[in-house]
Structure 1
Amino acid sequence: MTLLNGLASTDGRTGGSGETLAIRGGHPLRGRVDVKGAKNLVTKAMVAALLGESPSVLRDVPDISDVAVVRSLLEVHGVRVTRGDEEGTFVLDPADVASAHMEEIDAHAGASRIPILFCGPLLHQLGQAFIPDLGGCRIGDRPIDFHLDALRKFGAVVEKLPSGIRLSAPSGLHGASIHLPYPSVGATEQVLLTAVRAAGVTELRNAAIEPEIMDLIAVLQKMGAIISYEPNRVILIEGVDRLSGYDHRAIFDRNEAASWASAALATDGEIFVGGARQPEMLTFLNVVRKVGGDFDIREDGILFRRGGDLRAVTVETDVHPGFMTDWQQPLIIALTQAQGTSIVHETVYENRFGFTQALVKMGADIVVHPHGLQEGPRRVPRRNLEQAAVIHGPTPLRGADITVPDLRGGYSHVIAALTATGESTVRNVGIISRGYEKLFDKLTALGADFDILG
């Protein structure tokens, strides 16, 4: 099977969203996996190529379906995307950028939420943009109001239609003073991609400062942008008249690296994650150590394993430099095998514990508190939307018939099935291909015992 535009493996090892696995668990995962560029940077860097007046070269592009979606969206807008001189390299030529029909955009966007980030570049290039209804993982309300409010401050006219959102810039875009209510990654990316060619200076306060954001700033600076970062989450962007293409190697995917680390802890295995780096994973590595895991930092990656019996921990998700929300779901699988009571406070999304229902079915002792826990000390400010999961362990997991709900939860279900004794049937596995390159090949390399049922 293949994914969109032939971007995924053609060896039958990766497939569509309806794919089902039969997994026989209870065996440690051991071996090496390599991670490529971060999904959360690569897709945004591809959009940034729209702003250049010459071709861009992006390296270490992962073979995942989200990349295929963005490639398709770029191509319907006239950007020529070809493979470069090494594996995982794209050449993106925006010479023939043109507007696209709504039907084309809607068909190619699918469930992806990336089209919203096309707004700024398309307004600069064409003076207009259309964004269809947005999809994405069902992990809670992910409003785009931050995006639209920022675009309005740049001078964009926003018209909401039943089929989506139409934007125009009759007087062009100008610099603005923007203070985000929350350090949203997506809204920060929107401001960066819009401000670099807006007339004047843009000051962005309460910006997200994730490593992927810093890497996007590096991409834009290579293109000719003038961007500076000040303390307390303030980013200044001086608009320029023109930008050129870039040549950039993407930052590694720390979400995938953390996922494999949690798999090593959960299955009592040993996994070397090639391409992982210590600085971007500092917060995660601290939690690994607290929970009883061990790791070796090497020049070309990080080796993860248990350092003895796993211990209960309390984790609070937060924006960078806090513990990422994308890290908590795989970690919870490991926490089901930890001695004592662990608590995970989810403060970023309000509905990210739905995947635990399948874990309970498999034998885990997890109680979700839909309004969070009010008692106990906290370092991360409480939010109205937060939830908490209380995990009592260790509990043996047993095989079950489960269905993947979303990207990170789906990966976590696969790891839970590999941790459990007996056979599990895991359905809708193809959604995991949005963020994990060649998942089946990597599982095979680690000694996982599974069959693809179709």
Structure 2
Amino acid sequence: MATVDPQNDVLHVVGGKPLGGSIHVRGAKNFVSKAMVAALLAPGVSVLKNVPEIRDVQVVSDLLRLHGVKVNVQPKEGVVTIDASTVELADVADVDTLSGSSRIPILFSGPLLYRMGEAFIPALGGCRIGSRPIDFHLDTLRKLGAKVDKEHEAGIHITAPNGLHGAKIHLPYPSVGATEQTLLAAVLAEGKTELSGAATEPEIMDLVAVLQKMGAQISVDVDRTIRIEGVKKLKGYTHTALPDRIEAASWASAALATHGDIYVEGAQQPDMMTFLNVFRKIGGEFDIRDEGIRFWHPGGDLHPVAIETDVHPGFMTDWQQPLVVALTQAKGLSIVHETVYENRFGFTRPLVQMGATIQLYRECLGSLPCRFQQRNFEHSAVIFGPTPLQGQIIDVPDLRGGFSHLIAALTATGPSEVRGISLIDRGYEDFREKLVALGANID
């Protein structure tokens, strides 16, 4: 991939103006990349629709091409066509060059073991929001019969001398990535796989739907147990991606923080119900329509809330960062207890520099102790408001934190300089153009 021009990696923002207008949200970042990897399981053509034009899609497309797969991306139409009729081993150096931009390569393991008999996984990248170990992934592959060589100097070499076979797997925490790994590796394994403690996010369920279209046998129980009965072969799929509930909530938070009014076309109620309840408690208004959701600040004071992030169907961790910016404008004391990632509050430091009153605590300030209790992580935040924000120079730390800083700059009085905005391109399609459409004063 081409390097980012530093001149184009800075956004100048003059805040203090309500955002208003209409924008469109397409397919979920946390799903489309996994569905693209799933296409590698079948020696045929797959078509994925409602695909956003984001960097993660570009990264996965390039990784697939490195493995001899034909990928045709039509960004305006939001359609990606993947022909995996032929697959080849990629050059280690080429894979390593791309791996720093994404954690996706680990999910190539299962499909490559079936198609090529081996897989190479380089060092993994991703946002620095806390420990995201791949031990769950590797343990899953071992239980399915893979041989994992972690001593390989450039990464991890994985083989399956006797093929993959079904197994009983338990996740001590419902990891989304490890659940995806199990699904992609077990659908063609010999025998039955039982995965208990699985993640059941909507993006996971959409991946299950894709695999079922391909010919997989998968059932999901109410106790977070996923049962997979291996099949002999799979075929290509045609599928429309579910909308991005994280991006929709981010724009909703921007409307609340800036006293704005934003119609998010493509947003859907069912996967956002937990967010919508909190949005309403804070004092935001929304109108659910057939084609999207309108979010707006009705005037008057916003109300403080207590939020505890959790796995689905709880309050999503990716929702809390943009919403914290809105909570700096609420009247009173709000509490956010982060239970998914231990280091997700680093993004609040620039908010404090802009004038927010936010205190971080190592204690669990929630209804129940979480797995980070007594582990010395600042994983609870107390936000006191309302506090006026002043424009600052801000360096983007990660994808969601970066968009949150952008919301803060739009909320603040005076000019801000947001640096490293190319990181936001990983998950927010055309966000600069959308800001212009909403009346933001940016350059």
Shorter-chain TM-score tier: over 0.9
2:433 corresponds to which residue? Answer: 441
- Residue in structure 2 matching 1:36, options 21, 26, 39: 26
2:168 corresponds to which residue? Answer: 177
Q: 1:39-94 deviations in whole A, cap 9, x for unaligned?
A: 01000000000001210000011100111100000000011001369701011001
The sequence identity of aligned pairs, in percent, is 62
Contact 1:120–1:194, Cα closer than 8 Å, also in 2: yes
1:10 corresponds to which residue? Answer: none
CA-CA distance at 1:383 after TM superposition: 3.3
- Residue in structure 1 matching 2:45, options 38, 55, 58: 55
- Asked if 1:45 corresponds to 2:41, the answer is no
- Asked if 1:378 corresponds to 2:370, the answer is no
Give the secondary-structure state (helix, strand or coil) at the position aligned to 2:442.
Answer: strand
Give the secondary-structure state (helix, strand or coil) at the position aligned to 1:134.
Answer: coil
- For 1:260-409, list aligned pairs within 5 A: 260-308=251-299, 309-369=301-361, 371-373=362-364, 378=367, 381=370, 383-384=372-373, 387-409=379-401
2:204 corresponds to which residue? Answer: 213
Give the secondary-structure state (helix, strand or coil) at the position aligned to 1:299.
Answer: coil
CA-CA distance at 1:17 after TM superposition: 9.9
CA 1:86/1:245 → structure 2, altered by over 3 Å: closer, same or farther? Answer: farther
Contact 1:5–1:72, Cα closer than 8 Å, also in 2: no
CA-CA distance at 1:368 after TM superposition: 1.1
CA 1:400/1:186 → structure 2, altered by over 3 Å: closer, same or farther? Answer: same
Q: Which amino acid aligns with 1:242?
A: K
Cα distance in 1 for residues equivalent to 2:386 and 2:73: 48
Q: 1:190-243 deviations in whole A, cap 9, x for unaligned?
A: 000011000000000010000000000000000000101112101100000000
Cα distance in 2 for residues equivalent to 1:82 and 1:66: 15
CA-CA distance at 1:95 after TM superposition: 1.1
Cα distance in 1 for residues equivalent to 2:80 and 2:49: 7
Give the secondary-structure state (helix, strand or coil) at the position aligned to 2:344.
Answer: coil
Q: Which amino acid aligns with 2:367?
A: R
Q: Which amino acid aligns with 2:260?
A: G
Q: Which moved more, 1:429-438 or 1:384-393?
A: 384-393
TM-score, normalised relative to structure 1: 0.94
- Asked if 1:148 corresponds to 2:138, the answer is yes
Give the secondary-structure state (helix, strand or coil) at the position aligned to 2:397.
Answer: coil
2:182 corresponds to which residue? Answer: 191
Cα distance in 1 for residues equivalent to 2:363 and 2:347: 17
Contact 1:417–1:424, Cα closer than 8 Å, also in 2: yes
CA-CA distance at 1:15 after TM superposition: 7.2
CA-CA distance at 1:163 after TM superposition: 1.6
Any stretches of 5+ residues in structure 1 without a counterpart? 7-13
Point out 4+ residue stretches in structure 1 off by more than 4 angstroms: 14-18, 379-382
Paired positions, count: 438
Give the secondary-structure state (helix, strand or coil) at the position aligned to 1:353.
Answer: helix
Contact 1:159–1:165, Cα closer than 8 Å, also in 2: yes
Contact 2:39–2:82, Cα closer than 8 Å, also in 1: yes
Cα distance in 1 for residues equivalent to 2:403 and 2:370: 28
- Residue in structure 1 matching 2:403, options 406, 411, 428: 411
Contact 2:53–2:75, Cα closer than 8 Å, also in 1: no
CA 1:361/1:20 → structure 2, altered by over 3 Å: closer, same or farther? Answer: same
Cα distance in 1 for residues equivalent to 2:58 and 2:2: 6
Note the aligned Cα RMSD (angstroms): 1.7
